[in-house]
Amino acid sequence: MERLDQQRAPIYEALERFGKMRVVPFDVPGHKRGRGNPELVELLGQQCVSMDVNSMKPLDNLCHPISVIRDAEILAAQAFGAAHAFLMVGGTTSAVQSMILSVAKRGEKIILPRNVHRSVMGAMVLCGAIPVYVNPECDHRLGIPLGMSVSAVEKAIRENPDAKAVLVNNPTYYGICSDLRSIVKLAHDNGMLCLADEAHGTHFYFGENLPVSAMAAGADMAAVSMHKSGGSLTQSSLLLTGPAMPEGHVRQIINLTQTTSGSYLLLSSLDISRRNLALRGKQEFKRVSELAEYARKEINAIGGYYAFSKELCNGDSIFDFDTTKLSVNTLDVGLAGIEVYDLLRDEYDIQIEFGDLGNILAYLSIGDRPREVERLVSALAEVRRRFGGSKAGLMQQEYIDPIVAASPQEAFYAEKESLPIEDTAGRICSEFVMCYPPGIPILAPGERITKEILDYIQYAKAKGCSMTGPEDADILRLNVLK
């Protein structure tokens, strides 16, 4: 494949050319370049709404790209070191689901860690694949699930030689990485594919001294959230594939669920962001890493907080750490992570990424500057002084080993009944329950409900975690198998 110039942005260039053509729109969208919706123009601006156009010959078609979108995909593949890149406008959820649906059918197994995003489990419900969980090790001080140990993956492969693929988080939400190269080799040596959920690892492809990216490690597919650390618009993402994955088959799978009306605002943002990272990513992510290191040093000097980093690495379940992630344990301040999250927003006008029962995550990326970091550090010091206390009574353990009693698809579509949540211990759940963010299920369809899980849910609700998933939005009832 000929190498294209990374200074190009084919979709953006085509939109600019189209804008100069003064075409009269007798197609959709119905706002007709904003004329039919003046309030929308006021909110978003004329340039934005005039670029919200339909697929047409000069602008290509996302379902079957042959010109400018095709060139943008080639440029993305070359920038990320992939055999092919697919532009995704349904978020990384759509990329993850396409990845799973591409490799497994009903009744086929995928080996994966239990601390996966809900999109992985949603794909299992859709295609009927069966999860084989590798329970991640846990750091009891931090109360977080870690990566998968190579020996645990090896054991799962040995016990399930018919599995189709192994899925790895690269990294976890907290920045923890498994030994991806070794897991890829294990999968390939046993005739399996290796998939990576890289929702939080876009920068691995461009930064220095960061963990290995999925494509560099030889993985077969990777779902990459360009809108998280890569700077594109929310809901835009990439699906990367290695040479073993047939492009035509993957495109067919994507087209089963992805919209036929791809947003050119999202597509052009992917195009421009890829160009930005290809040209300036290395220096930008070096700056982000240095900013995160500075923040860690300052936060750890406050006392009580623990902003963790590479000192956790143990060569296996924490093989590497993403130093751009500003993950902070809060329990020694006497506050749950979700309480610090709420205080930062309500008292200091600082919106961080998430808080769980024991940790917070401040997401640093190419748009952050030192003065904002200084403000965060000062606010954390004040939170400790004003609201801190004893850690007595704070729940620490974050990860509970699941008991899988039925496949996610079987349980999701089975005959079910709704019970008060306190009466569900011992029953098999038929829906998801999760704190969002990060969107990792506490319960997934097909898992047995235990008293420990119910205690965890009640505690998380009491602390103010945003719980999502069940049909009953108040989570007073759960659907269980009859």
Q: What is the CATH number of the domain that holds 306?
A: 3.90.1150.10
Instruction: Of 222-236, 430-444, 455-469, give the range with the top mean pLDDT.
Output: 222-236
Residue 290 domain-assigned (yes or no): yes
pLDDT of residue 22: 85
Single-letter residue type at 436: Y
Least confident of 15-24, 121-130, 198-207, 459-468: 459-468
Query: Taking residues 325-349, what's their average pLDDT?
Result: 96
Question: Could you tell me if 208 and 152 lie in one domain?
Answer: yes
Residue 17 has pLDDT above 70, yes or no: yes
What's the pLDDT band for 1 if we cut at 50, 70, 90?
A: low
Question: Could you tell me if 178 and 188 lie in one domain?
Answer: yes
Residue 39 domain-assigned (yes or no): no
Phi, psi of 447 (to 5 degrees): -100, 145
Decide: 111 and 166 in contact? Cβ < 8 Å. Answer: yes
* Structural domain boundaries, residue 375: 279-387
Q: Which long-range contacts (CB under 8 A, 24 or more apart) does 305-312 make?
A: 305/329, 305/330, 305/332, 305/333, 305/380, 305/384, 306/141, 306/142, 306/332, 308/142, 312/139, 312/176
Residue 258 has pLDDT above 70, yes or no: yes
Query: Taking residues 281-293, what's their average pLDDT?
Result: 96
Q: Among 117, 121, 153, which Cα is nearest to 354's? A: 117
CATH number at residue 476: 3.90.100.10
pLDDT of residue 399: 67
Question: Could you tell me if 167 and 209 lie in one domain?
Answer: yes
Decide: 432 and 444 in contact? Cβ < 8 Å. Answer: yes
Least confident of 282-286, 374-378, 437-441: 437-441
Q: What is the per-residue pLDDT across 155-164, written as a single tens digit (0 to 9) for each?
A: 999 999 999 9
SS3 311: helix
Q: Give the CA angle between residues 64, 238, 66 to the nearest 5°.
A: 20
Q: Among 143, 145, 111, 117, which Cα is nearest to 317's? A: 145
Residue 35 domain-assigned (yes or no): no
Residue 181 domain-assigned (yes or no): yes
Question: Could you tell me if 306 and 247 lie in one domain?
Answer: no
Tokens of 429: 């759940």
Question: Could you tell me if 264 and 138 lie in one domain?
Answer: yes
Single-letter residue type at 305: Y
**Distance (Å) of CA 211 to CA 170, 214, 306, 320:** 9, 10, 22, 6
Question: Could you tell me if 76 and 104 lie in one domain?
Answer: yes
Question: Could you tell me if 286 and 361 lie in one domain?
Answer: yes
Question: Could you tell me if 372 and 425 lie in one domain?
Answer: no
CATH number at residue 188: 3.40.640.10
Question: Could you tell me if 382 and 440 lie in one domain?
Answer: no
Query: Taking residues 65-81, what's their average pLDDT?
Result: 98
CA distance 326 to 125: 33
Look at residues 261, 278, 295 and tell me which one is the last residue of a structural domain: 278
Q: Which residue matches tokens 């009491």?
A: 462
Question: Could you tell me if 378 and 430 lie in one domain?
Answer: no
DSSP string, 40-92: HHHHH-HHHHHT----BGGGB-TTS--SHHHHHHHHHHHHHT-SEEEEESSHH
Q: What is the per-residue pLDDT across 379-416, written as a single tens digit (0 to 9) for each?
A: 999 999 999 998 877 776 666 788 899 999 999 999 99
pLDDT of residue 78: 98
Residue 443 domain-assigned (yes or no): yes
**What is the pTM assigned to this prediction?**
0.94
Question: Could you tell me if 199 and 146 lie in one domain?
Answer: yes
Query: Taking residues 87-105, what's their average pLDDT?
Result: 97
Look at residues 242, 262, 278 and tell me which one is the last residue of a structural domain: 278
- Cα first-last separation, the chain: 55
Q: Among 271, 261, 232, which Cα is nearest to 27's? A: 261
Residue 36 has pLDDT above 80, yes or no: yes
What residues pair up with 85 in beta bridges, in sequence order? 240
Residue 480 has pLDDT above 90, yes or no: yes
Least confident of 135-149, 177-191, 367-381, 384-398: 384-398
pLDDT above 90: percentage of residues in the chain:
85
Look at residues 278, 296, 316 and tell me which one is the last residue of a structural domain: 278
What residues pair up with 354 in beta bridges, in sequence order? 361
Phi, psi of 359 (to 5 degrees): -140, 160
CA distance 159 to 178: 20
Residue 439 has pLDDT above 90, yes or no: no
Question: Could you tell me if 174 and 87 lie in one domain?
Answer: yes
Residue 142 has pLDDT above 80, yes or no: yes
CA 364, 365, 366, 367 dihedral sign is: negative
Q: What is the per-residue pLDDT across 232-249, written as a single tens digit (0 to 9) for each?
A: 999 999 999 999 999 999
CA 286, 77, 5, 8 dihedral sign is: negative
Residue 216 domain-assigned (yes or no): yes
CA distance 372 to 287: 14
CA distance 140 to 122: 29
Centroid of chain to Cα 177: 14
SS3 321: strand
When divided into structural domains, the chain yields a total of 3
What is the rounded (10 degree) CA torsion for 343, 346, 347, 353?
A: 60
SS3 287: helix
Instruction: Of 340-349, 447-456, 458-467, give the range with the top mean pLDDT.
Output: 340-349
Least confident of 23-37, 49-63, 203-217, 452-466: 452-466
pLDDT of residue 339: 94
